[in-house]
Amino acid sequence: MLALTIMSKTIQAVRGMKDILPAQMPYWHHLEDTIRHILESYAYQEIRPPLVEKTELFARSIGEVTDIVEKEMYTFADRNGDSLTLRPEGTASCVRAGIENGLFQKQIHRLWYKGPMFRHERPQKGRYRQFYQIGAEVYGVTTPDIDAEIIAMTARFWQQLGLKNIVLQLNSLGSIEARKTYREALVNYLSQHSLDEDSQRRLQSNPLRILDSKNPDMQTVIQGAPVLLDYLDEVSQAHFETLKSLLAALDIDYKINPRLVRGLDYYNRTVFEWMTTELGSQGTVCAGGRYDGLVEQIGGRATPAIGFAMGIERLIALLEQYQKTPSVQNPHIYITMVGDNTISYGLRISEFLRNALPQLRLEMNCGGGSFKSQFKRADKSGAQFAMILGEDEMNKQQVGLKFLRQTEQTQTKEQLNLSWDELVNYLSEFQY
Ligand code: ATP
Ligand code: MG
């Protein structure tokens, strides 16, 4: 009995992994199209690395002592025993792909990617185990002009998408050496305070991570900690000052957040996050920064780099708040057929129409049914017109066209009977 119940239980999606349904697609397409267009206007080129990489790549780049590598990765043994991981983020793959394919040898490279990422986190609104990111990476520029350009581009995303109240937080992590000095001061401070279990463990391995703790009990200790900006080396200091003045010249507002350290180890100098207050606690919609040491660390020739990634689900949630009614792509015409041989007649007309008017969206009634049930389906499809094909129409080599929606153009009109050519003429003048 038990076995039977288990067998008949319907299979559900994996926890934290969501279906994106047709009704949401207009938002996704709008967002993806808008962002892609802007990326292209800044000369970025798309790259599509695989979804699976060797585990070592992420361990070495993101850092062994980060949330992602310690507890969030989907890692499994391949059949030959290799340890593989579903990518938790895109930067490591871009770096690996760039080195492997010799992309960084030629001047400056601006790359972008989009696709699913996988992290075994506690699912909640705005936090999933499979989620989508669009990200961009630039290789080969040390100067802060690119930091400013990349931030200006992200600002343009929000502006073009009509998203308001997204604010920029900015910090500099300085050089690796400056971070060492700071690290000592931080450890010294933190050792004198009571820490949660995670932070105690990190105190030796990766104390900066403690500043990124989401534990509310840790916030007072974190607030009182020494500030990295006070320890910046001169070059990083100058880099940061120039970036700030470039942002001011571009009229981009920002807030310096001296505790912004980011959840991944590879960052240095500039780090930034775009945050909204409109999504509750999962408010970061875009995050990035410089990672000048990573390419060399992964085995490539030393190449400065900067990049960011955006959480698409969070941006879609914002879009949905702003635009209440998405326009689903309904068919323009639903084709109904009743009578002997009308199916082949209908198929021929629909192929003819697709040739003549490639923009037209046609939905054939497949699977038969009475005229009444086909007409019901036509209505449900959201189409503007039902095409009616009976034996009568077929014998006259005509089509019947009936209006399903009242618009200014259709209000007064009865069903039309048209020849094939008249149909094309009529439809090509119709405003959809
Ligand atoms: P968070 O602090 O929210 O965990 P993170 O620092 O881990 O973010 P990044 O690795 O920088 O995030 O990823 C960039 C963006 O991707 C985040 O700002 C967020 O918008 C999105 N993101 C990260 N993890 C998730 C997730 N589990 N579900 C949905 N979106 C996510
Ligand atoms: Mg995280």
Whole-prediction pTM? 0.88
For position 7, what pLDDT does the model report? Answer: 62
Q: How many distinct structural domains can be found in the chain?
A: 2
Q: In DSSP terms, which residues pair with 77 in a beta bridge? A: 83
For residue 367, is it left (φ>0), alpha (ψ between -120 and 50) or beta? Answer: left
Question: Is the distance from CB of 427 to CB of 418 less than 8 angstroms?
Answer: no
- The pLDDT value given to residue 324: 61
pLDDT in tens, 371-424: 999 999 999 999 999 999 999 999 999 999 999 987 666 655 688 999 999 999
Cα of 46 from ligand 1 centre, angstroms: 21
pLDDT of 264 higher than 80: no
pLDDT at 282: 82
Are 261 and 352 contained in the same domain?
A: no
Residue 194 domain flag: no
pLDDT at 65: 77
pLDDT of residue 267: 87
The response to whether residue 289 sits with its C-beta less than 6 Å from ligand 1 reads no
6 pLDDT more than 60: no
Q: Is 128 in the pocket of ligand 1 (CB under 6 A)?
A: yes
As a whole number, mean pLDDT of residues 200-221 equals 87
Q: Does 301 share its domain with 351?
A: no
Residue 226 lies in a domain: no
Mean pLDDT calculated for residue range 346-372? 95
Residue 257 sits in the same domain as residue 287: yes
Residue 183 has pLDDT above 80, yes or no: yes
- The pLDDT confidence band at residue 353, using thresholds 50, 70 and 90, is very high
Residue 27 shares a structural domain with residue 122: yes
User: Nearest ligand, CA of residue 283?
Assistant: 1
Give yes or no: residues 373 and 393 share one domain.
yes
In terms of DSSP bridges, do strands 166-172 and 255-256 run parallel, antiparallel, or are they unpaired?
parallel
Residue with more model confidence, 202 or 151: 151
Please, which pLDDT band fits residue 177 given cuts at 50, 70 and 90?
confident
Q: Are residues 248 and 315 located together in one domain of the fold? A: yes
Q: Which of 285, 303, 322 is the last residue of a domain?
A: 322
The answer to whether position 46 is within a domain reads: yes
Least Cα distance to 90 among 50, 148, 147 occurs for 50
In a domain, 375, yes or no: yes
Res. 242: pLDDT tops 80: yes
Confidence (pLDDT) at 129: 98
Q: Could you tell me whether strands 45-46 and 109-118 are parallel, antiparallel, or unpaired per DSSP bridges?
A: parallel
Q: Give me the mean pLDDT over the 236-248 stretch.
A: 97
In the predicted structure, residue 361 carries a pLDDT above the cut 80:
yes
Within 8 A by CB and 6+ apart from 289, the residues are 173, 262, 267, 268, 269, 270, 271, 272, 306, 307, 308
pLDDT value at 280 more than 90? no
* 2 has pLDDT over 70: no
pLDDT mean across residues, the chain: 92
Q: How far apart are CA 342 and CA 336, in angstroms?
A: 9
| One domain for residues 316 and 337 | no
> How confident is the model at residue 201, as a pLDDT?
87
Question: Is residue 404 in some structural domain?
Answer: yes
Mutate to test the pocket of ligand 1, among 284, 291, 310 (most ligand atoms within 8 A of CB): 284
Predicted pLDDT of residue 180: 83
Residues 137 and 266 in one domain: yes
CA angle 194, 197, 198 (to 5 degrees): 115
The residue to which tokens 């989907």 are assigned: 74
| pLDDT at res. 409 | 65
Angle at 370 between CA 364 and CA 374, to 5 degrees: 35
Q: Out of 8-17, 49-58, 403-412, which region has the weakest mean confidence (pLDDT)?
A: 403-412
Residue type at position 170: L
Place of tokens 């082949």: 344
Domain boundary among 278, 296, 322: 322
Supply 201's token pair. 């463990």
Our answer on whether the CB atom of 90 is closer than 6 Å to any ligand 1 atom is no
* Same domain membership, residue 277 and residue 239: yes
State if residue 133 touches ligand 1 by the CB under 6 angstroms criterion: yes
Would the pLDDT of 8 be above 60? yes
Beta carbon of 276 within 6 Å of any ligand 1 atom: no
Q: Evaluate if residue 3 carries a pLDDT over 80.
A: no
Q: What is the pLDDT at residue 309?
A: 98
The residue whose CB lies within 8 Å of the most ligand 1 atoms, and thus the one to mutate among 70, 131, 310, 319, is 131
Are residue 246 and residue 155 in the same domain, yes or no?
yes
For residue 1, is it within any domain? Answer: no
Q: Is the pLDDT of residue 327 over 80?
A: no
Residue 25 lies in a domain: yes
Express each pLDDT in 92-143 by its tens digit.
999 999 999 999 987 779 999 999 999 999 999 999 999 999 999 999 999 9
Residue 326: HSE in the Cβ half-sphere, 13 Å Cα cutoff: 19
Is the domain of 261 the same as that of 340? no
According to the 3-state scheme, what is the secondary structure of the chain?
Answer: CHHHHHHHCCCCCCCCCCCCCHHHHHHHHHHHHHHHHHHHHCCCEECCCCCEEEHHHHHHHHCCCCHHHHHHCEEEECCCCCEEEECCCCHHHHHHHHHHCCHHHCCCEEEEEEEEEECCCCCECCECCEEEEEEEEEECCCCHHHHHHHHHHHHHHHHHHCCCCEEEEEEECCCHHHHHHHHHHHHHHHHCCCCCHHHHHHHHHCHHHHHHCCCHHHHHHHHCCCCHHHHCCHHHHHHHHHHHHHHHHCCCCCEECCCCCCCCCCCEEEEEEEEECCCCCCCEEEEEEECCCHHHHCCCCCCCEEEEEEEHHHHHHHHHHHCCCCCCCCCCEEEEECCCCHHHHHHHHHHHHHHHCCCCCEEECCCCCCHHHHHHHHHHCCCCEEEEECHHHHHCCEEEEEECCCCCCCCCCCCEEEEHHHHHHHHHHCCC
Distance of CA 130 to the CA centre of its chain: 11
Atom of ligand 1 nearest to the CA of 263: 6
Tell me what pLDDT residue 107 has: 72
- In angstroms, how far is the first alpha carbon of the chain from the final one? 57
CA of 404 relative to ligand 1 center, distance in Å: 45
Residues 256 and 385 in one domain: no
Rounded mean pLDDT, 82-91: 97
Whether 89 lines ligand 1, by a CB cut-off of 6 Å, is yes
Query: Which CATH number fits the domain that encloses residue 384?
Result: 3.40.50.800
> Which residues does residue 86 pair with via DSSP β-bridges, in sequence order?
52, 74
> Which residues span the domain enclosing 386?
333-427
Residue 4: its pLDDT value, please? 54
Q: How far is CA 143 from CA 240, 245, 376, in A?
A: 10, 13, 63
pLDDT for residue 67:
84
Residue 5: predicted pLDDT: 53
User: Which tops the pLDDT comparison, 141 or 204?
Assistant: 141
| Domain final residue, candidates 259, 292, 322 | 322
Question: Which pLDDT does position 408 carry in this prediction?
Answer: 65
